[in-house]
Amino acid sequence: MKSDPTWNPLEGTDPLTMDGDIPSHLVDGADRFLLRKLKQSIARRADHWSRDVSTPEAYVESVRPNRDRLAHILGLRDERRFSGIELVTMAHRPALIGRGNRYTIHAIRWAAFDDVHGEGLLLHPEDAEAGADIVAIPDAGMTPEQLVGLEEGVPTESQYARRLVEAGCCVVVPMLLNREEAVNGISNREWIYRSTYELGRHVIGYELQKILSIIDWFAQSGTKKGIGAIGWGDGGMLALYAAAVDERIDAAAVSGYFNSRQTMWSEPIDRNVFGLLEQFGDAELASLVAPRALIVEMAEAPNSCVPEGEGKGAPYALTTPDPKTVGEEFDRAKALINGLDTSIFSCIGSGDGKGSFGSDEMLRSFLNALSVNGAPEWDDATPEGEGKLPDTTERHARQVHELDRHNQRLLVECAKTRDDFFEELDCTSLETFEATIEPYRDYFAEDVIGRFEDELLPFNARTRLSYEEEGWMGYEVVLDVYEDLIAYGILGIPDGMKPGERRPVVVCQHGLEGRAQVVVEGTRDAYHDFGARLAKEGFVVFAPQNLYIFTDRFRSLQRKSYPLKKTLFSMIVPQHQQITDWLKTLSFVDSDRIGFYGISYGGKTAMRVPPLVDNYCLSICCADFNEWVWKNASTSSPYSYSDKGEYEIFEWDLGSTFNYAEMSRLICPRPFMVERGHHDGVAPDETVAYEYAKTQRHYDLLGIGDRTEMEVFVGGHEIHLEGTLAFLRKHLDWPERR
């Protein structure tokens, strides 16, 4: 390998003089690119709204599409089936578990959706007609019993559920999933989030369904009392979302949560909502509450963190929002509804804005918004328990089990859901297929992968000769893609090309934590020098450096992408577009014969990039093709990612849209191949064969069955380069070394 960085650039390019580790520069540039996009998202949101503030009624109707969009990305898809409140009585414990001053406390549960229930406490005042009906939502780190004062853990002055029942309100306190460890350092909330997200649902949506079922109960009562939602921390988040999606909530109080969401990627991953920041920050969510009342309390928030590398869960940091930032977001919310009565919104500081939550001022404002008149009688006397309290550990385990069971049922049903999604694809002939597949490619690009609207920059190709090997020579290449985003890789040129000759190209993609060099250097495990071997066979080779390197550094890119309705592949696709566009300009490249061959994470790339880069005339997926939705969403399979460290791997709503068989349809009618080792731990042979059978059937029914094949060999997670070499020779018209 040559050491002089300016030695012999490729003809027509500038010398590559970049210092340091180029893959590190690439990831840093992608990070700057995404941070800029996050900042720009605030101004871009206005494009998705058409507010009519002429009357409150007109306003509500004008924002309905945004409300529907919010419900969709929160995963509110399962029909609620509320059938009434059940008092939870055990043989050793009655449902009545406590009494306070003029109220009782009962353990309750209720049907929410499918066979999933909510559980919590009902605080019932002596005079239930005097107050409002309220859902008081705790933070994920507290139990309902703590919020009402039956257990220690919440300061007396912050027990807002208890204080509201003392004011004469009927209060339901639901329990939330906590962030205690479920498995391998992954919290309960994240563990449920992972499979839920893959299936087009969300742990936030599930908890909202339980809350909205209580709103159903309140609304069915026939009284004209006000309905409110109040919460702190995660409870504040849910109160805000609930009021944004459900117009029956007359007032919402949000404490210790309201903020600019531009750094939501650093919060617990169970708060990640795909595409949220495309239309919604907290100000926009607040605008969906209008013309109803919203009270924001600037107060201390739950403070916790999980450092990088601690267990297999996603790292995060939860801190108290800066009152200045909260104030700016609140002012932005009021500006969005300018023309309506903005006095319906109020922002209250507890102490210096970081004081105790549940302040008197916040609660009084909330009660006033719900037309609960008169000064509340608060004596701060905690209730007395009646016998044994509910076993909170068992109750929590039931909730986790029910949600997991629901997810696994969805997983079984989602193949039919995908068939329904593809009902407008016409496969009666190759011509009708090609005419009807394009809307699905567009959907894949926009709603699954995510597409930036930026124009590709000029190539500005910089190269340096870095390899002079037997049978080939290689150049390191850097191309500009977007501002701050570059493409980097190694171009391998075979010896013996004749003047004017144009050769086929194989783009050879490395796997997780790999570098472009592993494709062409030595006989490394899994790779077996396949890039260099193909160059020796006479193919031009390009080995791109992909973004999935440096563990949490690249995983944070995924987390920054998701709120923008983007993914890692939103940057990888334009990188490959730029690479292949540049390759087509080279005098020794046949622009019609550029194939893709990727292993492992490069195999994931083989399923996601060629559908959207038509410069690729074929794709080979090695050591990755499998029943991908099952691999992500199953919580019983040892092959599943549900308890592994790849917390970035989960993709929004693939269960309802594109598994690997459906992705292969987007590659079709171009040739497509799967390379699979019997001992590959990615998945068992049975599920790989099951998924590939759908691909083979699709090609066969279109009359092009000879364009797809799967080679299975005795081996592991590795390149085999036997059947694939024959496949490349056949479909790139390069039958032998010339």
Average pLDDT over residues 650-659: 98
The domains spanning 14-34+454-627+643-652+660-731 and 60-411 adopt the same CATH topology: yes
Q: Domain 14-34+454-627+643-652+660-731 carries which CATH code?
A: 3.40.50.1820
Q: Report DSSP letters for 600-637, one per residue.
A: THHHHHHHHSGGG-TT-SEEEEES--S-HHHHHH-SS-
- Strand residue runs (E) in 329-471: 345-349, 384-385, 462-469
Crossing angle, helix 234-245 and helix 282-289, to 10 degrees?
A: 50
Q: Quote the CA–CA distance of 397 and 610 in Å, as a whole number.
A: 43
Q: Give the pLDDT band (50/70/90) at residue 735.
A: confident
Q: Quote the CA–CA distance of 728 and 63 in Å, as a whole number.
A: 53
Give residue 380's pLDDT.
Answer: 80
Amino acid 482 reads Y
Amino acid 364 reads R
Average pLDDT over residues 377-395: 89
Which tens digits make up the pLDDT trace of 314-359?
999 999 999 999 999 999 999 999 999 999 999 999 999 999 999 9
Phi, psi of 102 (to 5 degrees): 75, 30
Q: Which residue has the higher pLDDT, 373 or 216?
A: 216
Cis peptide before 504 (omega within 30 of 0): no
Give residue 83's pLDDT.
Answer: 87
Contact in structure between 641 and 194 (CB atoms under 8 Å): yes
Find the angle CA(712)-CA(572)-CA(622) to the nearest 5 degrees. 5
pTM: 0.96
Q: Check whether 3 has a pLDDT greater than 50.
A: no
- Strand residue runs (E) in 243-341: 251-255, 293-298, 304-306, 316-318
Q: Which residues pair with 116 in a beta bridge?
A: 113
Which tens digits make up the pLDDT trace of 399-442?
999 999 999 999 999 999 999 999 999 999 999 999 999 999 99
Contact in structure between 162 and 383 (CB atoms under 8 Å): yes
Give residue 128's pLDDT.
Answer: 67
- For 60-411, CATH number out of 1.10.10.10, 3.30.420.40, 3.40.50.620, 3.40.50.1820 equals 3.40.50.1820
Q: Quote the CA–CA distance of 611 and 619 in Å, as a whole number.
A: 9
Per DSSP, 675 falls in state E
Which tens digits make up the pLDDT trace of 34-43?
999 999 999 9
Q: Check whether 689 has a pLDDT greater than 50.
A: yes
Which tens digits make up the pLDDT trace of 68-126?
999 999 999 999 999 899 999 887 888 999 999 899 999 999 999 999 999 999 999 98
Q: Quote the CA–CA distance of 533 and 737 in Å, as a whole number.
A: 11
Domain boundaries, the chain: 14-34+454-627+643-652+660-731, 60-411
Q: Which of 36, 28, 12 is nearest to 566 (CA)?
A: 36
Strands 227-232 and 251-255: parallel
Q: Quote the CA–CA distance of 242 and 403 in Å, as a whole number.
A: 19
Q: What is the mean pLDDT of the chain?
A: 96
Average pLDDT over residues 614-633: 98
Crossing angle, helix 552-561 and helix 569-585, to 10 degrees?
A: 100
